[in-house]
Structure 1
Amino acid sequence: MSRDPYAQGLITFDPFVERKSVAGRIVTVLDGKLDNRGIELIHARSRVLQKHEIHELIISFETDPAPGKRVDRIGYVGFFEVHEGGVIVSGDRIRIADKWSGTIAGFDETHVPNHINIVVCGDLNQTGLELGLRVGDMVQIGDGRNIGDGMQTRRCAQSGAGGGSDDRNA
Structure 2
Amino acid sequence: MVEPYQSGFFKSNPYAVKREVQGRLAVVLRGKLDNRGLNLITPISRAVQKNEIHELILTDEEGAVPGSRVDGIAYLGFVEIITGGVLVAGDEFICNGEFLGRVAGFDETHLPNHLNIVISSHKRIDGMELEVPLEAVIVFRQNQRE
* TM-score, length-scaled by structure 2: 0.96
1:75 is the counterpart of 2:74: yes
Contact 1:109 1:116 in 2 (8 A): yes
Paired letter, 2:115: I
Mapped partners of 2:13, 2:25: distance in 1: 30
Corresponding residue for residue 129 of structure 2: 130
Count residues in correspondence: 146
115-124 or 92-101, larger mean C-alpha shift: 92-101
Paired letter, 2:16: V
For the structure 1 residues 100 and 31, does the alpha-carbon distance in structure 2 shift closer, same or farther, using more than 3 Å as the test? farther
Q: Percent identity?
A: 43
Contact 2:89 2:103 in 1 (8 A): yes
Counterpart secondary structure, 1:68: coil
Counterpart secondary structure, 2:123: coil
The structure with more strand, counted as a fraction of residues: 2
Corresponding residue for residue 30 of structure 1: 29
Residue ranges of structure 2 left out of the alignment (5+ in a row): none
Counterpart secondary structure, 2:129: helix
Q: Cα deviation per residue 1:91-125 (whole Å; 9 max; x = unaligned)?
A: 00010003452100000001111110000011222
Contact 1:97 1:139 in 2 (8 A): yes
Corresponding residue for residue 158 of structure 1: none
Corresponding residue for residue 110 of structure 1: 109
Corresponding residue for residue 161 of structure 1: none
Q: Cα deviation per residue 1:78-100 (whole Å; 9 max; x = unaligned)?
A: 00000000111000001000345
Residue 20 of structure 1, CA deviation: 0.2
Contact 1:99 1:133 in 2 (8 A): no
Mapped partners of 2:99, 2:142: distance in 1: 16
1:11 is the counterpart of 2:13: no
1:20 is the counterpart of 2:25: no
1:122-161 map, 5 Å: 122-145=121-144
Contact 1:99 1:131 in 2 (8 A): no
* TM-score, length-scaled by structure 1: 0.82
Residue 131 of structure 1, CA deviation: 0.6
Corresponding residue for residue 157 of structure 1: none
Contact 1:27 1:81 in 2 (8 A): yes
Mapped partners of 1:61, 1:17: distance in 2: 27
75-84 or 55-64, larger mean C-alpha shift: 55-64
Contact 1:37 1:74 in 2 (8 A): yes
